[in-house]
Structure 1
Amino acid sequence: MTDLVRYHVEARTGVGFPLKAGQLLTIIDPQGEQSGDLVAFGEADKAEWLSSGRSIDYNETIYLTTGHVLYSNRSTPMFTIVEDTVGKHDFLFAPCSLEMFQRSYGIQGDHPSCFDNLAKNLASFGITGDMLPTPFNFFMNASILPSGAITIAPPLSRPGSFVRLRAEMDLIVGISACSAPGCNNGTCKPIDVEITGKIGA
């Protein structure tokens, strides 16, 4: 594969970019135990977006990994997970937001969040915060207990761990390095992103 584009997403920041059908998107945890958020929209029609509900429904699991397809709200394949060295991600939680930090942690004043990072970096593509769906929370280690409670443990990712997805349609993608220390074993760290492959491959 020939590297086309690389992004280094600093801790508590985000990035937005186009991704063409057939290109490979590799999300890398350079330091380990760092999660992040992935959202996607159809490049031709932003009203088509990555759907947690459709993806969980059609794959019949909440734990999506190698071989699973991520679908849009219109039931169109958006991504195929072609390689995954971690194997545990979340597709249930909304992006962390200022309101979440205030409600759940009692934080006063401003605080970086995945919601703000995604909205800021996707604004130039005509995507607003109100359009953001439930993200694919890569490397986030959430588990559902028999009681229905959800627990969050440190990510299983280690330095160099990655998940690689193939775009199945032309997309606008947003990625945020998670700003919630509780999801990342107490510290917030960067995420690396690589885009490889020929357009339309």
Structure 2
Amino acid sequence: MRESSPSSPLWEELVPGGAHWSGVLRRGTTLRLTDVGGGANVAMLLYNNEEKLERYNMADTLKAQHTAHLTAGCACYSDMGRVLCSITGDSVGWHDPIGGVSNAAMVARRYGALSYQEARNACHRNGYDSLLNEVAKYGLGRRDLVPNINFFSKVVVDDGGNMAFAGGHSRAGDHVDLRFEMETLVVLSTCQHPLDPDPEYRPRDVKLTAWYSGPAGADDPCRNRCPENRRGFANTDRLYL
């Protein structure tokens, strides 16, 4: 793959608020998500493009790295103990791995129902159906929707187990960089976070920028974050020998 950089990317694309997108990111490619106007949310699922039964595993990702949120230095694990992608850059500092996605009933209750027939591209969409529409393009269905990552969103949990959404967390221009360690099918939705208390339906735009950065080296901070990550990267490297 030809060399590139954030200033001279392989490609760029704007994903409008409330839309959904999917594509294959090759090993050694970095994808930057940029919150264009502030307050964005990107619900993302990850699958091994060569064997889609292998996919992102939230529980393994969190327990392997002894964390309840994701930020720079973290790796996103598959259910086979391999690293799908690593977070190599992050201007936000906290991304939610536990909040899930909105559904049609939730969106209708909070914002009112507004169909495509009524409003065309301004219709009210939800995260669950958006992700389902995208995975269907690859022969996947409801049983293949697993707990997702919500980039740009922060959810905190109190001592009683109550979850609260942190407003104003991501600002215009904030970004997160994901370096892909495997050939990965990326599926995402830009619908609002299910815990977002905003009474108005106004999902935000997100820009995608991809460049070739190369896979993780021996001294990589994500690889060396903890012993579990070193094992996860070794498992991944063996797949591409």
Per the TM superposition, whether the score is higher than 0.5 is yes
Work out the number of aligned pairs and report it.
200
Distance 1:181 1:18, change over 3 A: same
Unaligned runs of 5+ in 2: 116-123, 217-241
Matched, 1:59 2:61: no
TM-score (norm 1): 0.90
Higher relative contact order (CA 8 A, sep 6+): 1
Distance 1:182 1:66 in 2: 24
TM-score (norm 2): 0.76
Matched, 1:197 2:212: yes
State the secondary structure of the residue aligned to 2:98: coil
Q: Which has the higher helix share?
A: 2
Distance apart, 1:43 and its partner CA: 0.5
Distance 1:195 1:11 in 2: 19
Paired amino acid for 1:84 = D
Distance 1:168 1:155, change over 3 A: farther
Residue 49 of structure 2 is aligned with which of 43, 52, 63? Answer: 43
Distance 2:11 2:50 in 1: 22
Residues 28 and 179 of structure 2 are in contact (CA less than 8 Å); yes or no, is this contact kept in structure 1?
A: yes
Unaligned runs of 5+ in 1: none
2:223 is matched with which residue? none
Distance 1:18 1:199 in 2: 16
Distance 1:46 1:181 in 2: 26
Q: Which has the higher strand share?
A: 1
Distance 1:30 1:130, change over 3 A: same
Instruction: Name whichever of 178-187 and 6-15 sits farther off.
Output: 178-187
Matched, 1:165 2:178: yes
> How many percent identity over aligned positions?
23
Matched, 1:140 2:146: no
| Structure whose CA Rg is larger | 2
State the secondary structure of the residue aligned to 2:10: strand
CA RMSD, 1 decimal: 2.3
Paired amino acid for 1:70 = C
Distance 1:157 1:75 in 2: 30
